[in-house]
Structure 1
Amino acid sequence: MTQGDQIDYPIPPIDAIEPPPEWERLRQQCPVAHVRLPSGDQAALLTRYDDVRQVLSDPRFARSADGAARVSAEGTGVFDRRRPGVPQSGDGHQRWRRMITKWFTAKRMAALRPAIEAMADQLVDDMVERGRPADLKANLGFPLPVWVICELLGVPASDRERFSYCSDTFLNLSRYSAADMEAAHTEFAAYMAGHIEAKRADPGTDLLSDLITGTDSAGERLSDDALVSTGMGLLIAGHETTTNMIGKMMAMLLADRERWEQLLADPALVRTAVEETLRYDANAGFGMIRYVSEELELADGVLPAGTTAVCSMASANRDERIFDDAGEMDLTRSPNVHLAFGAGPHSCIGQSLARTELQVVLEVLLRRLPTLELAVPAAELPLVEGLLVGGLREVRVIW
């Protein structure tokens, strides 16, 4: 491992758009760095694209294990917990992923797209009726992913608020106490257990009903613990992360009027624009953790067995070795091999859903509110503090 002064991680963002200058320094001088986590435990921070991709793509390494560094001080954050009943690596994990992934195919996303568009249109209607200025995150970015993930799990609309609170608590490093986090886990597990029982008695056409009755390639059904853990994982992947990305995407695109005008002139760029905002995101949060159970040689150093590696996909996505003009936002960039959703056997299951939601939001806003602009300079947009996924507290806009 490259030697150097130990730094505190996560590295705080400087504003809504620009990355911390430490990223470039670490990529150039110390791509495998010693860091101290909020818990006080030590880890290795990877900031170059090739190193991050190699570790994330290695099927041997899981998110957690005995002896792994804890993220939060009390060891109660979502990355510190194992999901009961869900294998974290190996063949069992891949069988579990295959059961889930079939719900996120291109065909299913195409079928779901009109419903997502209708939801977005309804939320824009409500926002316009309330008047300007408006908080785009609160009015559109926050509710839309909740509605969609609750729809997938067959959760009634009346329970959306409970889901959003649990998601926020799971992902916080500092805003909630250990007792709050534990209570949220207990509440969510109890709710999901009851919801599973209700679905078992009266199954619907939702993902959860399918998982209750379905079997994996070995002919085995998911246990109740695995079903609860699956619901928690989909909530985290499907709500807070996408909520924050909607706000960040719009902030990035509206920060420079030429970007918004380029999209208005050529709406066919929506897909590549979404991918570029995912790559360009300077507030992507903590990154992904992998416990390196055996010595691993990287291009830029060696990770000894027992190392907890923190993979900064956001820094990797700014690696000048991979991306031409990495510090510039190019809405036409293609191909765009960013790592925003990870890589390999643990890459984000819901990435096709997230892409669909981001594309729909952008298409609806371009169509409905072409005069949209930020109500304050981008540098003054308030950042969320303590959230593992990173984001903006609010995105105030006028039109």
Structure 2
Amino acid sequence: MTQSQAGQLPRFPFETEAALEPPAEWARYQAECPVAHVRLASGDEATLLTRYDDVKSLLADPRFTRPTAADNAARVADTESGGLFNSEMSNVLPQHGEGHLRWRRMVGKWFTARRMNALRPAIEAMAEQLVDEMVAKGGPADLKAAVGFPLPVWVICDLLGVPDADRDRFAHWSDTLLSMTRYTQAEMDLAQLEFAQYMAGHIAAKRAAPGDDLLSALIGETGPDGEPMSDPALIATGMGLLIAGHETTANMISKMVAMLLADRSRWEQLLADPVLVRTAVEESLRLDANAGFGMARYLTEDLEIAGTTLPGGTTAVCSMAAANRDEEVFTGAAEMDLTRSPNPHLAFGAGAHACLGQPLARTELQVVLEVLLRRLPSLELAVPVAELRKVEGLAVGGLRELPVRWRS
């Protein structure tokens, strides 16, 4: 395909003016073109899937995984390496088969429902402290900066045994490695180098003086083959969990609260019936219109989807956010129903590569919402919904800030 042909393709992710509203292309593509050709920020062509059944089936298909450096896949970013997506560190961890399952089992033990219940009181205490500090400074305030960002950073730093005093550095490294259009290749390379050096030093320190944290446990654990996890794998695990453990949840906290305050009857419904917090969190995850890029899969063989044969070598982008608004699966899919149950959304993916940290993300979102409802029942947006500003140029969607106010 020539560059002029590529230029005629719609660019993905699609642009929208409103931070909380979906692009019109989602519904149109679901109805008219469920297997669509799009152009990524890199200029490379990919195939976009937007229907629920198609997205779920591809994500759950064990034959295919995310693109690796060995694949001739479409690049996500407008730089040579594609930041986090095609970085050397991202390819250290096994992506297929028993090696991948073994890694997930070793790490996943730290994200069980039992562990999350044990963590819940500490997360709640931290949320209370952050709300206290925000209230003490007075409103209006930026809820993302005051609560949404520091809470998940504190939690994941505690889990990994790294100082949350370094959270601003983690945020910069995460943003850079998640870049699609914001940072240059040189900036990505530097961020990757600095982050890897930081994590290598942290792991060396943990090896010398283990603590009660995930990385210390992984250092001391051996797999079924009797071999411990290698240092490159430990570094990649630490980097991946720090990025995933704070970036997505920090953004989702502010988006969830914004969605609930955009129509204040939703907030009032939760105040009247706090039992709905759990289903409200799930519905916020489903209805997230600013979810970011989605998940890419590299097809190593021909695959038929929605009556179309995709040849091996295709890079398919699964838009979970679009799939979560599929009217064939969710009645009144465009509406926010805080009582919706069951709610089989795909916000955390599906199959062997579904988000490991989803129990932690759910716990943090539930706790933050419970604390805000209890402590600040009069909470409201401090700007019109139309003035909320999106994060631009990153693979993860979010709000730049969330201005709120409350009555003292």
TM-score range, shorter chain: over 0.9
1:130 is aligned, of 127, 137, 144, to 137
Contact 2:207–2:216 under 8 Å retained in 1: yes
What's the secondary structure of 1:63's corresponding residue? coil
Q: Deviations over 1:216-266 (max 9, x none)?
A: 233332110000110111112111111110010000000001100000000
Distance in 2 (alpha carbons) for counterparts of 1:320 and 1:152: 39
Q: Deviations over 1:42-86 (max 9, x none)?
A: 100000000100110011112113201111121232122252431
Which runs of 5 or more residues in structure 1 are unaligned?
none
Residue 53 of structure 1 corresponds to which residue in structure 2? 56
One-letter code aligned to 1:106: A
Distance in 2 (alpha carbons) for counterparts of 1:84 and 1:307: 19
Per the TM alignment, residue 160 of structure 1 is displaced from its structure 2 partner at its CA by 2.1
Indicate yes or no: 2:388 matched with 1:381.
Answer: yes
Query: Which stretch shows the higher mean deviation, 380-389 or 313-322?
Result: 380-389
Residue 371 of structure 2 corresponds to which residue in structure 1? 364
Residue 260 of structure 1 corresponds to which residue in structure 2? 267
Contact 2:170–2:243 under 8 Å retained in 1: no
Distance in 1 (alpha carbons) for counterparts of 2:150 and 2:248: 12
Indicate yes or no: 2:319 matched with 1:316.
Answer: no
Contact 1:60–1:90 under 8 Å retained in 2: no
> 5 Å matches for 1:106-125?
106-125=113-132
- TM-score w.r.t. length of structure 2: 0.95
Residue 18 of structure 2 corresponds to which residue in structure 1? 15
Contact 2:285–2:347 under 8 Å retained in 1: yes
Distance in 2 (alpha carbons) for counterparts of 1:217 and 1:111: 28
Contact 2:294–2:320 under 8 Å retained in 1: yes
Residue 72 of structure 2 corresponds to which residue in structure 1? 67
What's the secondary structure of 1:382's corresponding residue? coil
Q: Deviations over 1:17-46 (max 9, x none)?
A: 211111000000000100111111110000
What's the secondary structure of 1:239's corresponding residue? helix
Sequence identity (%) = 69
One-letter code aligned to 1:73: D
Distance in 2 (alpha carbons) for counterparts of 1:261 and 1:245: 20
1:271 is aligned, of 278, 287, 294, to 278
Per the TM alignment, residue 210 of structure 1 is displaced from its structure 2 partner at its CA by 0.4
One-letter code aligned to 1:158: A
One-letter code aligned to 1:147: W
> 5 Å matches for 1:68-107?
68-74=73-79, 75-82=81-88, 83-107=90-114
Residue 31 of structure 1 corresponds to which residue in structure 2? 34
Query: Which stretch shows the higher mean deviation, 14-23 or 335-344?
Result: 14-23
Distance in 1 (alpha carbons) for counterparts of 2:227 and 2:167: 31
Per the TM alignment, residue 300 of structure 1 is displaced from its structure 2 partner at its CA by 4.3
> In the comparison of the two structures, how many residue pairs are matched?
395
Distance in 1 (alpha carbons) for counterparts of 2:224 and 2:141: 48
Contact 2:296–2:317 under 8 Å retained in 1: yes
Which runs of 5 or more residues in structure 2 are unaligned?
1-7
Distance in 2 (alpha carbons) for counterparts of 1:84 and 1:44: 23
Indicate yes or no: 2:199 matched with 1:196.
Answer: no
Distance in 2 (alpha carbons) for counterparts of 1:210 and 1:190: 20
Deviant stretches of 4+, over 6 Å = none
Contact 2:45–2:74 under 8 Å retained in 1: yes
